[in-house]
Chain A
Amino acid sequence: MLDIFDILGPVMVGPSSSHTAGAVRIGRMARVLLGEEPIKAEIGLYGSFAETGQGHGTNRALIAGLLGLQPDDMDVPNSFALAANQGLDFSFYTARLREAHPNTAVLDVTGVTGKKLTLQAASIGGGRIRVEQLNGVEVNFTGNFNTLIIRHWDVAGEVANVTRELAAAQVNIANMSVCRSKRGGEALMVIETDHKIPVEVRSSIADLKNIRRVTYYEKEE
């Protein structure tokens, strides 16, 4: 999708669209997908993120995103102090990955009720990001669309059940992927849509029989 405000924009705190703005977005994505206030984060930096992240404020940007800040928030550089105030405990390490994008971060996040999330994402240029792994499952989505992430059981007809709800609400699917751990086992559906997905549609999907959990990321305005 072409968005001219990706060319002229984003409005952001410097110095680097990939190492700073993209890093904020990765942090924010982890927060949204966790679905609650994070209290602990262990963050692995890989490639250029590890090599030059310090000078680009990549570390502060990731924490800012985890705290829910947007890339243009003037508090991005002060995120470490904010984290201390809000009770987010964090640490960084140099990640060893195989064949990852040079600007990659791996976040292990724990929420206030004990929920856990592991997310691997790359900052792919101009502030755009790509989520590549979610709790160990390979995925591929960007946050450029409204995104529905559904953990479900691998049962015949489950995809149709979900898309029927979306169709009834006139929500158009732009991209979609489905994968599973094993036949009949845990599965993951990632659906990117043009339209926002109303909360009642999300809850009727969550109420379907073989759905385990529904997470929703709404595209930035």
Chain B
Amino acid sequence: MALDSMKEIAECPTPFWQIVLETDMDERQVTAEASMEKMRLTWRAMLESTENYEPQRRSLSGLVGGDGEKMRQYSQNGDPICGPYLQEVIATALCVGESNACMRKIVAAPTAGACGVLPAVLVPLYHSGRATEDEIIQALYVASGIGAVISHRACIAGAAGGCQAEIGSASAMAAGALVALRGGSAEQIGHAVAMTLKNLMGLVCDPVAGLVEAPCVKRNVIGAMNAVSAADMALAGIESRIPVDEVIDCMGDVGCRLPMELRETALGGLAATPFGQSVKETMKHL
């Protein structure tokens, strides 16, 4: 299948993950085993990216590092508002986002800037025994299928469509993966995708000094939390009033209308604050 419409995928009797698997087999001319082995390696790399976190590391600018560890300490010693799963979602998103900024190994999903979102929602489920590796691999096919549709109809990079396209896509992919993991239908996956994208619609890409650091790392957290809430809503039977393909098209349209200052150029938004400008100046002298 062309993977260009969520509606078409939902109307097909084949399970969502299998449609994506078959598309991959066809496009790359590989066997199901070879495709699934590559997905398994991708998952293990994602898992490793959460395990290799080093709290003492700092990014080149010094803006990023150590926050994932702070969140974990607070989980252990403080009195968090969120329950154990969401605490780990927050901590994992921060850890992977920080590792990325510190030039550690990650899985771009769909981009490096949004690499914390998918592991943040999946790895805590895996560690607590609520999802097996095989289930997660199927869910990752769903996630990549969603990413493919968004990439076809709209865009997935901040430079093209703002953060709504980058963290938004990651969030939609994560929400769909979660719904699939919990046994939701392809329609429910579509509703979750629509809700995540609607809730981040218009978010600009405004990285301080043009670096994938501030506000990018913490936006991985909002992408992950947004995915969890949208997945639970979809699983509860709550529907998006606006059809998912229309939401994706709309996100692409909004992305095109964003001024170039708000699309990764670091000329607007938080990058243009006095603080953002001062970081840019400092980086020049490094």
Q: Which residues from chain A sit less than 8 Å from chain B, CB to CB?
A: 1-5, 7-18, 20-21, 48, 51-52, 54-57, 72, 74, 76-77, 102, 125-127, 194
Contact status B286-A54, CB under 8 Å? yes
Contact status B104-A18, CB under 8 Å? no
26 CB < 8 A contacts A-B:
A4-B23, A4-B141, A4-B144, A7-B156, A8-B39, A9-B42, A9-B107, A9-B109, A14-B99, A14-B100, A14-B101, A14-B104, A14-B106, A14-B112, A15-B103, A15-B113, A16-B112, A17-B108, A17-B113, A18-B157, A54-B283, A55-B211, A56-B212, A126-B110, A127-B108, A194-B29
Contact status B159-A15, CB under 8 Å? no
Which single member of A1, A11, A13, A14 contacts B212 (CB below 8 Å)? A14
Contact status B160-A125, CB under 8 Å? yes
How far in angstroms is the closest Cβ of chain B from A122?
12
Hey, which chain B residues are within 8 Å of A20, CB to CB? 103, 112
Within 8 A of A (CB), among B98-140: 99-113, 115, 118, 140
Interface of A is mostly: mixed
**What CA separation (Å) do A72 and B20 show in the bound complex?**
25
Contact with A along B156-195 (1 / 0, CB 8 A): 1101100000000000010000000000000000000000
Stretch at the interface among B8-16, B145-153, B246-254: B145-153
Q: Which residues from chain B sit less than 8 Å from chain A, CB to CB?
A: 2-3, 20, 23-24, 27-29, 38-39, 41-42, 45, 59-61, 99-113, 115, 118, 140-141, 143-145, 147-148, 151-152, 156-157, 159-160, 173, 209-213, 264-266, 283, 286
Contact status A55-B107, CB under 8 Å? no
Hey, which chain B residues are within 8 Å of A126, CB to CB? 108, 110-111, 156-157
Which single member of A7, A52, A72 contacts B110 (CB below 8 Å)? A7
